[in-house]
Homo-oligomer: A and B are copies of this chain.
């Protein structure tokens, strides 16, 4: 699944320009998918060439014409076909977890700061998603709830278990600094 499919998906919820697609992706999908202008605009042009979307150009004075795209029948079929493929496994790339793996190489203060930051971030994002669960379709609610559940679980885990990495980093520090081993 690539940006092109994602564009088809967004358009299935309503016509939009490239710019608007980007914004909707940020609103709705940012937690589990990203896309930049540099990938969206070329994707739309290619989708148009392939007849999966069509485009109405709204002339605008003093700024580029706004090109509003809509799904064609073929586009909708392609989207459905694509969604029918069993989804591949999630890809996660977490610099935070990599850092935690090597916690014993870092000063304890640094580890703690990273965890604090992460904790705040997760709580903020969970709250943001919670606010979204009321005002939207069942699918949107489901997605928002899913995200919230995960952020909350991560935050809870961090609070309960942070001592595991913090104490290990402390030991390593004592080890290499010779703290408490002064003669």
Task: Assess the B93–A32 pair: CB atoms within 8 A.
Answer: yes
Q: Which of A1-52 contact B (CB under 8 A)?
A: 1, 5-6, 9, 12, 28-29, 31-34
Q: Is A57 an interface residue (CB 8 A)?
A: no
* Docked complex Cα distance between A114 and B139 (Å): 15
Interface size class of chain A, counting residues whose CB lies under 8 Å from the partner chain: 35 or more
Q: Is A120 an interface residue (CB 8 A)?
A: no
The winner among A96, A143, A146 for most chain B CB atoms within 10 A is: A146
The winner among A95, A113, A114 for most chain B CB atoms within 10 A is: A95
Task: Assess the A141–B154 pair: CB atoms within 8 A.
Answer: no
- Nearest CB in chain B to that of A93: its residue: B91
* 7 residue pairs A–B, Cβ–Cβ below 8 Å: A32-B97, A83-B99, A87-B94, A103-B142, A138-B167, A139-B164, A146-B157
A contact patch SS? helix
**From residue A142, how far is it (CB to closest CB) to chain B in Å?**
4
> What B residues does A157 contact at CB under 8 A?
145-146, 149-150
Copies in the complex: 2
Q: Which 5 A-B pairs have the closest CB atoms?
A: A153-B153, A87-B95, A138-B168, A87-B96, A32-B94
Given contacts A32-B97, A91-B34, A110-B84, contact A102 B139 (CB under 8 A): yes
* Docked complex Cα distance between A101 and B29 (Å): 9
Task: Assess the B33–A93 pair: CB atoms within 8 A.
Answer: yes
Task: Assess the A149–B154 pair: CB atoms within 8 A.
Answer: yes
**From residue A111, how far is it (CB to closest CB) to chain B in Å?**
10
Q: Which of A96-128 contact B (CB under 8 A)?
A: 96-106, 110, 113-114, 117-118, 121
Q: Is A174 an interface residue (CB 8 A)?
A: no
